[in-house]
Amino acid sequence: MQSKSSKQQKIYNGKYIKLSKIGGGSFGQVYLVKDIKTNNEYAMKKFYLDNLGNGGAVKQFEILSKFDHENIHKVLDMFIAPNKNQYLITPYYPNNLYNYVTKKLPEKIIKQIILQVINAAKYLHSLKYIHRDIKPDNILISNEGKIILTDFDLCRLESKGKDDPLTRTAVTLYYRAPEIFFGDSYYTNKIDIWSIGCVFAELVIGQPLFKGSNELSTLSKIIQIIGCPNEDNWPGVSELPNYLPFGGGEFQLGKMLENGGLSKEGIEIVTNMLMLDPKKRPTCEELLENEYFKKDIASVDELKKIMELK
């Protein structure tokens, strides 16, 4: 139900009024709203009517309601207006990792952030879900220093086998794993590990690692920085539908991360997450077992202070 208050302000679902616009993307727009009875603030995501192919608010509500994890977005309310617009109400988080990319955070802070993102992904993967759109803009931060993975528009269950192919338009270009570019319809949750590796590297170097303007130029960047995929480093790659025998490319990632000030151990972790062959990338569990995430890591309080969360 939508009605007008005396000041002609639209009231959504009989409860919420808009305060400001927070974001807008491919699937809808996000507003900061206030519950008129309690004065509590929330984020309200409006899904574009012509882009409900991914299920809109109804599907996101259904998926998010299944999850219960401290690093995953909670969902509070969902409603469909008479004009069929769909809305999702979630807690509001005032900070977004996207705004910290150029800040060159210290390694121990980056480590704490990535640790929490891996914890979120580990939970999703344990339930057989793949997020499929991990990137800085989809990582929110609470004022208490909690990292919150959001935007489940593209999230879905793993492929169940040959009769259940996955779409190849998943994941924002810069964070998209090479197997997706090569047309693999049976990619696994290792595409999320690739994306997290990209986010990790981005926080170190201060800009997206594989910044291409289209699919081919992004893939060329990957080859330029990681090396050329072939049957030696990635058995089976030549059988993928869109595989092209590229030439050139040599491993430059180590130098780039070193120039960004990352430790030897950090470089090793990012390198493993960005293995061309998805089978060689570590799982979330394997990452969390690594000593790297157990020592020289900032506390959540330090994170709050250094990131100036208020």
- By CB under 6 A, tell whether 30 contacts ligand ADP: yes
Residue 92 CB, nearest approach to ligand ADP (Å): 4
- By CB under 6 A, tell whether 150 contacts ligand ADP: yes
Give the residue, chosen from 16, 31, 33, 45, that forms a contact with ligand ADP under the rule CB under 6 A: 45
Of the candidates 133, 151, 153, 184, the residue annotated as catalytic is: 133
Residue 60 CB, nearest approach to ligand ADP (Å): 9
Amino acid letter, 31: Y
- Near ligand ADP in 153-172, by CB under 6 A: 153
- By CB under 6 A, tell whether 23 contacts ligand ADP: yes
Give the residue, chosen from 11, 17, 19, 25, that forms a contact with ligand ADP under the rule CB under 6 A: 25
Among 20-28, 209-217, 268-276, 291-299, the segment contacting ligand ADP (CB under 6 A): 20-28
Residue 133 known to be catalytic: yes
- Site track 285-304 with Mg ion (rule: CB under 5 A), x = hit: --------------------
Contacts 24+ apart (CB under 8 A), 18-27: 18/44, 22/92, 23/137, 25/137, 25/151, 26/51, 26/153, 27/51, 27/54, 27/56, 27/153
Give the residue, chosen from 61, 87, 100, 151, that forms a contact with Mg ion under the rule CB under 5 A: 151
Give the residue, chosen from 71, 96, 116, 195, that forms a contact with ligand ADP under the rule CB under 6 A: 96
- By CB under 5 A, tell whether 138 contacts Mg ion: yes
Residue nearest to ligand ADP (CB): 25
Among 112-120, 137-145, 281-289, 293-301, the segment contacting ligand ADP (CB under 6 A): 137-145
- By CB under 5 A, tell whether 152 contacts Mg ion: no
Give the residue, chosen from 93, 182, 200, 243, that forms a contact with ligand ADP under the rule CB under 6 A: 93
- By CB under 6 A, tell whether 22 contacts ligand ADP: yes
The answer to whether the CB of 118 falls within 8 A of the CB of 147 is no
Say how many residues touch ligand ADP, by CB under 6 A: 20
- Interacting residues toward ligand ADP by CB under 6 A: 22-23, 25-28, 30, 43, 45, 90-93, 96, 137-138, 140, 150-151, 153
Active-site positions read 133
